[in-house]
Amino acid sequence: MADFTIVLGDCNTSSWSLRGWLTLKRTGADFDEIRVTFKDPDVKSHILVHSPSGLVPMLKHQTPSGEIQVWESLAIIEYLNELYPQAAFWPAGQTARARARTVSAEMHAGFSPLRNHMPMNLNEKKPLQEGMGEGVADNIARICAIWEDCRVRFGQGPEGRGDFLFGDFTAADIMFAPVVTRFQTYGVELSTLCRAYADAVLAQPDMREWAAGALAEG
């Protein structure tokens, strides 16, 4: 039995589960998974067995002092960042690190129209107009502005050179990964720079593994 256990929802539709899983994968630690399916009418009660919030993901860490429970995605990132600094969840430079934390928190707390009108579904392709409820266009524009700014200032700048927002794959990319899948599902038109970023996220090995899991769910 591994020291870590993570409680997750469906690969196909659970955006927050994707974030928690990507975080744990990045540490390289062994972990066990407990899966609940949102198709189960009693899913809430199944989650409550593990998570006091009734939400996933839920991280359990068995330590010599007892079990530690962490059930918010950003809290999971920060907790594992303390345990695995070598995973480099945040950029090394102070300015880049501050920006990465800020845009991650903005993603965590905001963009309700996009969440509500463009639910994550890796196994379907839907017409863009189906997801374009009130406020969604503004959300898309803001997200693309974040991606453009981070790529130009940090991902391609002196602090980091790579395919992701801050060069290397960081917690900020983890927070935006479900949005990348939403843009793919709904065929959102992206600038050349944003398209290259989205393609890099989708090609990331752990993302491809998660997508394969979604496909297996049917």
Rg from Cα positions in the chain:
17
Residue indicated by tokens 């945040």 = 90
- The count of other CB atoms within 10 Å of the CB of residue 102 is 12
Name which of 95, 85, 90 is nearest 154 in CA terms: 95
Domain ranges of the chain: 4-87, 94-209
pLDDT number for residue 161 = 76
Q: List, for residues 30-48, the tens digit of each pLDDT value.
A: 999 999 998 888 888 889 8
pLDDT number for residue 157 = 63
- Alpha-carbon torsion 158, 161, 163, 166, what sign? negative
Task: Tell me the CA end-to-end span of the chain in Å, nearest whole number.
Answer: 29
Q: Domain 94-209, what fold?
A: Glutathione S-transferase Yfyf (Class Pi); Chain A, domain 2 (1.20.1050)
Q: List, for residues 43-78, the tens digit of each pLDDT value.
A: 888 898 898 998 999 999 999 999 999 999 999 999
Question: Are the folds of 4-87 and 94-209 the same?
Answer: no
pLDDT number for residue 156 = 83
pLDDT number for residue 160 = 60
- Paired with 32 in beta bridges are 5
Give the 3-state secondary structure of 28-47.
CCCEEEEECCCCCCCHHHHH
pLDDT number for residue 159 = 58
Q: Domain 4-87, what fold?
A: Glutaredoxin (3.40.30)
- The count of other CB atoms within 10 Å of the CB of residue 159 is 18
Tell me the percentage of the chain whose pLDDT exceeds 90: 89
Mean pLDDT of the chain: 95
pLDDT number for residue 39 = 87
Residue 160's SS3 state is coil
Low-confidence ranges of the chain (pLDDT < 50): none
- Paired with 166 in beta bridges are 168
For residue 141, give every residue at least 6 positions away whose Cβ sits within 8 Å of its Cβ, in sequence order, or none: none
